[in-house]
Amino acid sequence: MITSIGHVVRLARAGYILAREGVFSGVDTSGLPLEMRAPLFLAGLIARKGGGLQRLAPAIARLGPSYVKLGQTLATRPDVVGVAVARELEALQDRMAPFPREVAVEVIERAFAKPLDQIFAEFSEPVAAASVAQVHRAKIVADGKERWVAVKVLRPRIESRFRRDLADMFFAARLAQKFSAEARRLKPVEVVETLARSMKMEMDFRLEAAAASEYADNTHGDDDFLVPKVDWDLCAREVLTLEWIDGTPLWDVEALRRSGVDLPNLGRTIIQSFLRHAVRDGFFHADMHQGNLFLTREGRLAAVDFGIMGRLGMKERRFLAEILYGFITRNYWRVAEVHFEAGYVPPFHPVADFAQAIRAVGEPIHSRTAEDISMAKLLSLLFEITALFDMQTRPELVMLQKTMVVVEGVGRSFDPKLNMWSTAEPVVRAWIEENLGPLGKIADAGQGLAAVAHLAAQAPAILSRGARISEQLETWTTKGLTLAPSTVEALARANASRNRFWRYGFALLLVVVAVHFWR
């Protein structure tokens, strides 16, 4: 109970900050129940002048790094927060004031149990700082050779702060899911779980190093794309060391233009690289904004910061490739069939009705010019249509769609007339031909035979387990289910402890209320 009070107090503070900035001022309360209208009315009373939804990103930034990460996660979920809110959340920048170089040195020396000068010949002041970590440029001298590296150092005490804030968010999400049928459909607990998994991986740099290594292996043969090498000898839970990338950041468009870069071609490279990684490899960079992309002196696109990566299984990759190709070729019936084959839309809906709804999304794009056709917007509209047909939210597909919004924006910043469909078509068509054509069917047949052989090898063990389960069921049916004495005793202790918790908690609450009114 005391823990719940702590959650409520901290969430109330967060709500007050958002209300004070006028974030809730534009909410239409006409269709809301009374218990929701009253808090929104109070929020309107305390809102400062000049506030509004445009103050959402600054307000969340005031709440700290955990809420910045939550905001970035919710920006990938327009199905949960709405398109307007998701667009405002896109403005959240994961930038914070750096912590002192001396603190970073302490973290590194503790991680590797040796002085800094025995690790690096040079170690700079921070060159970039975010909510979880900051980056330093360092020099390594080995065998008479020098090389520059990027050293990412975890912020001190950041984990305890994230644990506390995530506990508050879980409390609020479970409460919403308990009392709201709409919330249960949108799965807020799953949103927070996604954030928690993401943060757990982001705060263990060994996992980020593994992601960078896998990403590098996948893209090894791509002449136009580069992933920095991991220095495994200088990686620890709190420290990540990667090859230093010399290049021009993609946010510096003027510098790129001065260097004579073919900007339209760069835009196409960005789009095709992302689609290639998502469809071919099923593993893509899910934070591909201009700050994480560089153009090297050799003309290769280089990515950094692998804390947020997306992963698609074969079913999702086929789904993505076929729906994109279906829209390109205007084969809406096939797009509808893919949804049903993947099990995303319940089978009681007619395929013909769903194909008709998809045509309503797809046809308008064919009457517009290339620069007006947004692949990301089309996918967003598609997810809105699927909600009408009881399609459950697919977090991996929503993350893909959100990343596509970012990538599409980056590509079009270099070429406003970039034709998304002609750019995507060769990548998608090549994957379909390789995986769904004759060669793909032969490979699928081979995998099927291997699975059958594996199942046959496991058959004796499966039959043995089945026989034991059958005997147990027969015993329970005739004699009932018997609990071990230790289990009964443990249940009794747990029940007594729970009763004491609520008695003492209620008594403590009465004391707090009494003290408050007697002051």
Q: Which residues are catalytic?
A: 287
The whole-angstrom separation of Cα 293 and Cα 256 is 12
The whole-angstrom separation of Cα 284 and Cα 402 is 12
Q: Which residue has the tokens 């998701």?
A: 86
Question: Which residues, in sequence order, are CB contacts of 485 under 8 Å at separation 6+?
Answer: none
DSSP state of 97: P
Question: Which residues, in sequence order, are CB contacts of 204 under 8 Å at separation 6+?
Answer: 237
Compute the half-sphere exposure of residue 231: CA atoms within 13 Å on the CB side of its CA.
20
The whole-angstrom separation of Cα 465 and Cα 462 is 5
| Among the listed residues 147, 228, 145, the one whose alpha carbon sits nearest the alpha carbon of residue 137 | 147
The whole-angstrom separation of Cα 434 and Cα 442 is 11
Please say whether the dihedral angle defined by the alpha carbons of residues 197, 199, 203 and 207, taken in this order, is positive or negative.
positive
Structure tokens, 465:
């387990």
Structure tokens, 134:
């900051």
Question: Which residues, in sequence order, are CB contacts of 390 under 8 Å at separation 6+?
Answer: 345, 346, 349
Cα separations in angstroms, 160 against 55, 199, 224, 501 = 28, 12, 41, 25
Q: Which helix (H) or strand (E) holds 303?
A: strand 301-303
Residue 47 three-state SS: coil
Query: What value, to the nearest 5°, has the Cα angle with vertex 473 and ends 470 and 479?
Result: 140
Please say whether the dihedral angle defined by the alpha carbons of residues 446, 447, 448 and 452, taken in this order, is positive or negative.
positive
Question: Which residues, in sequence order, are CB contacts of 61 under 8 Å at separation 6+?
Answer: 67, 68, 92
Q: Give the distance between the most distant pair of CA atoms in the chain.
A: 85
